Structure 1
């Protein structure tokens, strides 16, 4: 007699830029948990040979392609940044495809629960995919300092990204669990390990 295998529940993982959500996701992966990253899904749907890339080139012309035929993200970003109508067109093309890719990857999970990582979880309504939401939080000055250390960017650009993302208050309002990540990586990993052991006791993401 075969026993029915229960479908893994989904933990949403989010946090502002420089909060440490990628490090947290990495730790869940090391613990054997299936991790699905919205950013990776959005890159995958426009890879060479994918229908979305052909549609973008047909709509915008070859100016959005690099010499090797791959997407020139900077060129596309520039075009849609200047024109809200074009941005909506691109979103209407890509968002359903990204959603399908995320759903497909989550459905293939065999770990007790799966982690879905997205920087715009709350803003985009993607938190509805998850049964539980973990927010990696950090004070604004820590976010700025980490991002400047990690990326070749200016303080102004970091501020612009922070403005585009949900406020800390907004994210925390939706959170089931919060890790205030204002210490080092060892401490963050210990917190993720603690939460992981707790999550293994949950059915469907709720206690």
Structure 2
């Protein structure tokens, strides 16, 4: 365990699903850390110095060594603090967990976002279709398991916080139905289990300000259509 709180720092922003992933991992491990809220319109020197390549949050700093990219950070946390493993010990299962986590980033994060926050209508419709296709793959993958890794929260669930918390939020704003109990009953059930898991619940941002922020963004975009 980290001997003092000062050794572990997380740079994030309140509405970021990627920073939220890291918070869940740290909470699962019981690691104390210092959280620094960044202003992305006026990035701190610490952020620019710690992540000069992407200049984005989250950045995880452990003993003055910075790490960027949420899934990389979650794996690092899992390897550094051995209790409550996030990745399976079996190499094949680990590879699968990495595959599906990357699938969420590659196929769902952008498509679901663009299904709502894109001016061009054709482009929006194309992204809705892509989101449905990707969610269907996850529906088939979760089967009747409680979580993607079985009984405990694992890497794919943590990666999927975007689907469980952010997708319902943005679909409500846009009056879309991306994730519903009718279309994807198993995935929907998983999303409810996941956001109500005590550790996840504690790590999620407060819904109202995040909703208000994205709603404002959506309305200003709608005005320009």
TM-score (norm 1): 0.29
Bigger proportion of residues as strand? 1
Higher relative contact order (CA 8 A, sep 6+): 1
